Each structure stands twice: as structure tokens, then as C-alpha cells.
Amino acid sequence: MTTAPASQKIILNTTVNGQEHQLLVAPYHSLLEALREAAGLTGVKEGCNDGNCGACTVSLDGRIVDSCLVLAAEAEGRQVQTVEGIAPDGQTLHPLQQAFLEEAALQCGICTPGFLVAAKALLDREPDADEDRIRLWLAGNLCRCTGYDKIIRAVQKAQG
Amino acid sequence: MHPFQYLAPTSVAEAVDALARYGDRARALAGGTDILVQTRTGRFDLDAVVDVKRVPELTALTLGEDGLSIGAAVPCYRVYEDAEVAGLYPGLIDAASLIGGIQIQSRASLGGNLCNASPSADGICPLIVHYGQAHSAGPDGRRSTPVEEFCVAPGRTILEPGEFLVSIELPRPPAGFGGAYQRFIPRNEMDIAVVGVGSSLTLNAAGDRVESARVALAAVGPTPILAHAAGDSLVGKTPGIDAFREAGELAADAARPISDMRGDVNFRKELVRVLTRRTLTTALERAQS
């Protein structure tokens, strides 16, 4: 059994955006804290830190989760995808990112990484998702400034 | 937040040892959607969190001749994405697909929902009306408890320190069985039930009489309530709105709601009447299909 005293940091081996990482984390740290503070991936945002807002959404072994509600230690040996890994080559924007820009689907932007990761997971699984399905799928992501219509339109635009 | 250790046992015996070592200063971790929030808000200070997801029994979802076994840490999506399970246990699917959003459903488990023992839990009533049994393991060995007896107070269950939920078992529904769960919330998604009702019924071979029925209520008492009189009232009756209306009245009698910001006593009792009728109607449609 893996054990570590609460005072002692543990070494987390996990793959983030296709790259293997070795991160030093406390046993009580969330995956969100590990990604932002140990891996420097600040695209993952902290909003409510209690699983309501979805700003910290990442993909864990292909399923979207609120990274604030995952312990970093749980990601041992698993695949994590953040907003930083969405653009195919780091130069060209993903169609969803481009559509969010063109449809002005953001104002302050703090919810945007979570929306992008969640929307990408939906379109990867269900490229033809209709509006109801998109709205249901994104119910776990809150935006407090743009309103949702522009975000939904952007996702629909990215569907082509 | 109080710093805690992270333990990841790989067998039931190891998990019992780990939990027993820390007593009430440890909790089992399944999806974490309740427990991590509660440790942050200081509801309890833990010295250890015991991640039970590496114990194979806890993540197994097994459908067999006798019924369905749901490992206590199986996330909701695995339940509702299994077509065969969805066909046999419709009341369960109603709940598993409305708890939280997609992110929460990736992690949250029906077992965790049961152990969290919230009076408004969406997952517990469907387990009750599908005749669920909770299997737990602890320092004194294993035991099995009907789901309706598992919660004893808000946030409290029968589990003793060192004991944890291993799986929930639901018998295979007979022919002519239907179940449903509905809740009332003022929004479309992502909210806590003002009232929730789960119902199930089994029809006779001719389909014109009810042989057995259950009605269970959420958010109208300190624990989920199995409204015995409501279910029993349907036995021998012709299924339909008259019988369902009477069951709704009896369910409202069994409800012990409080008035709070989500709704007052009378509103909640009325919701029990309405949702009992509606869930029984849906359960009947499903029993006939």
C-alpha cells in the first residue's frame, strides 16, 4: 500500500498533455494545485474550489473532471489533458478556440479553459451533438459575464 | 484544511486496516465530490484519506443472473452508459444521470452518495425502490444491510469506525417491473432536490394488478424515507391514476419535511404527492414496455 505522512511530499508520476511529469506534491493537494503550482500549467483555473463552476475542468483518462475534486496523488500513472494541450501543435488554434474568439464567447476569460476542455470532450465523443445536448454537457461549467448563448454558438460553429 | 495522509490500499483487508488505524480521523475516498469539499470547509478534520478505488471489488460493475452488483466507487457514468444495466434498472439511471454535471458524474458514485447520507441525496431512493442491499466490510468482518436502513441521521450511517461500503447489490427485476426517480429543483440542472421521489412497481402476468410496489422519499426527513404504506396501498390494485393518487396521499403522510430556503412544509408535502403520482406513472409505462 502506498503511504506517505501528511507532512512529507510525495512524488507524482503522471502524463500531462502527452508529456511525462514527475511532480512533488503534498498528499492533501488537489490535482488543480499540482497542475498550477508544481507543473506551472496556469491555464487550469481555480473558481469555486468545490465542484460547482467547472473552471478547473481537465480530462483524466479521457473523462472530464473538476480537478479541484481530485487529489493529485490519484493521478499517479494516469493521463491528464489541460487546455494547454488542446491546440494541435502549439501554433494553430483548435477549431473550438478559434470559434470562441470569432463568436466573442468570452469576456474575462477565467471560465474559458474549462469550457474548452469540456466542449472538446463532447465533440470528440459526439461530433453532431445538438443544442440541448451541448447545453446539458456544459451545465457543469459556469460563466458569470458572457452569458451562455455565445458559448453555445461557438461550440456549434466549431462543429462546422 | 487539516493536512492528511493519502493511502491507497489494493485489497479490502488492507482498506479495513488503514481505516481502523485512524478510526474517525479517516474516511474512505471514492469520487471525492463530497469528502474533499467537506474537508476544505472544516466539517471534519482528517488525518488520513483512504482511496478505495484500487480495491478491485470497489470499482467492479457486475450484472449476473441474480442481479447487479455496483462497487461502492463505481462512478455514475459507468452505470448509465451500460445499456443492459440501463434497461433493467431505469430508476437508477434517472438518478445517476442527474447527479451534478458531467464532470461530477465522471467521479461521483452511488456508493458515495449513500455513505454521504444527505437527506436530499438523489441516488438513495432509487436504490431503495430497486430493493438494494449495502455490503460493508470492517474490523468485525462483513455484513449486509437493506439500503433503507443504512442512513441514520443527516451525514450519518450505520458504518462503524474502520468499516466501509464495499458494494451495493440489486436483485434482478422480475418481468413486469418498472421504476423511476424524479426530483423537483427550481433550475434545469446542477441543483439540490427540494423533494425527490423514487417509485417502483411489479405487475402480475396479466398486467392488470400490482403485485408489489415501493415509494421512497428524499429531502422530506432527516434520512431518505421508505414510505411503506404508500407502496403497500398499491398491492392488488389496478395500476392507474386513482391508485397512484392514493399512494401520493400516503406518501405525503409519511413525509416529515422542514421549512427552509428551498421550500416550506406544505410545498414539500404537495411535491411528494405530485412526484409520487408522476414516478408511479413512469414506472408503470416502463413496466408495460
- Determine how β-strand B48-51 pairs with β-strand B5-7: parallel
pLDDT of residue A24: 97
Of A85, A113, A141, the position where a domain reaches its end is A85
Q: What residues of A are in contact with residue B41 (Cβ under 8 Å)?
A: 50
Question: Which residue of chain B has the CA closest to A50?
Answer: B37
Judged by CB atoms closer than 8 Å, whether chains meet at B33 and A140 is answered as no
Contact B43, B30 (CB under 8 A): no
Judgement on whether residues A68 and A19 belong to the same structural domain of the protein: yes
Residue B250 backbone class (left: φ over 0; alpha: ψ -120 to 50; beta: rest): alpha
Tell me, yes or no, whether A65 lies in a domain: yes
Contact B49, B6 (CB under 8 A): yes
CA geometry: angle B134, B219, A64, nearest 5 deg: 70
Judged by CB atoms closer than 8 Å, whether chains meet at B40 and A66 is answered as no
Judgement on whether residues A116 and A152 belong to the same structural domain of the protein: yes
In tens, the pLDDT along B86-135 reads 999 999 999 999 999 999 999 999 999 999 999 999 999 999 999 999 99
- How close B99 comes to chain A (CA, Å)? 11
Contact A97, A129 (CB under 8 A): no
Judgement on whether residues A122 and A69 belong to the same structural domain of the protein: no
Please list, in sequence order, all residues whose beta carbon lies within 8 angstroms of the beta carbon of residue B10, skipping any fewer than 6 positions away: A1, B54, B55
Which segments of chain B belong to CATH 3.30.43.10? Answer: 5-54
Across A24-46, average pLDDT: 97
| DSSP letter string, B69-132 | EEETT-BHHHHHT-HHHHHH-HHHHHHHTTSS-HHHHTT-BHHHHHHHT-TT-TTHHHHHHTT-
Tell me, yes or no, whether A3 lies in a domain: no
Comparing CB atoms, the residue among B41, B100, B103 nearest residue A57 is B103
Q: CA–CA separation, B144 vs B159, rounded Å?
A: 11
CATH architecture of B5-54: 2-Layer Sandwich (3.30)
Question: Which residue of chain B has the CA closest to A140?
Answer: B101
**Which CATH number fits the domain that encloses residue A50?**
3.10.20.30
Q: What percent of chain B has pLDDT over 70?
A: 100
Mutate to test the interface with A, among B6, B59, B80 (most CBs of A within 10 A): B6
Comparing CB atoms, the residue among B6, B51, B107 nearest residue A65 is B107
Band of residue A3 on the pLDDT scale cut at 50, 70, 90: low
Judged by CB atoms closer than 8 Å, whether chains meet at A64 and B103 is answered as yes
**pLDDT(A4) > 70:** no
Judgement on whether residues A79 and A135 belong to the same structural domain of the protein: no
Judgement on whether residues A22 and A54 belong to the same structural domain of the protein: yes
CB of B53 within 8 Å of a chain A CB? The answer is yes
Q: CA–CA separation, B253 vs A91, rounded Å?
A: 64
Band of residue B78 on the pLDDT scale cut at 50, 70, 90: very high
- How close B71 comes to chain A (CA, Å)? 18
Judgement on whether residues A76 and A125 belong to the same structural domain of the protein: no
Q: For the domain with range B177-288, which CATH number is right: 3.30.390.50, 3.40.605.10, 3.40.50.150, 3.55.50.30? A: 3.30.390.50
Question: Which residue of chain A has the CA closest to B107?
Answer: A65
Tell me, yes or no, whether A70 lies in a domain: yes
Judgement on whether residues A44 and A18 belong to the same structural domain of the protein: yes
In tens, the pLDDT along B237-289 reads 999 999 999 999 999 999 999 999 999 999 999 999 999 999 999 999 999 99
Judged by CB atoms closer than 8 Å, whether chains meet at A65 and B47 is answered as no
Count of domains in chain A? 2
Judgement on whether residues A48 and A99 belong to the same structural domain of the protein: no
Residue A113 backbone class (left: φ over 0; alpha: ψ -120 to 50; beta: rest): alpha
Judged by CB atoms closer than 8 Å, whether chains meet at A69 and B29 is answered as no
Contact B92, B127 (CB under 8 A): yes
Range of the domain at A105: 95-158
Report the predicted TM-score, pTM, of the whole model to 2 decimal places. Answer: 0.96
The B residues from 184 to 213 touching A (CB cutoff 8 Å) are: 188-190
Judged by CB atoms closer than 8 Å, whether chains meet at A69 and B31 is answered as yes
**Which CATH number fits the domain that encloses residue A131?**
1.10.150.120
Judged by CB atoms closer than 8 Å, whether chains meet at A137 and B36 is answered as no
CATH number at B56-171: 3.30.465.10
**pLDDT(A102) > 80:** yes
Three-state DSSP state, B170? strand
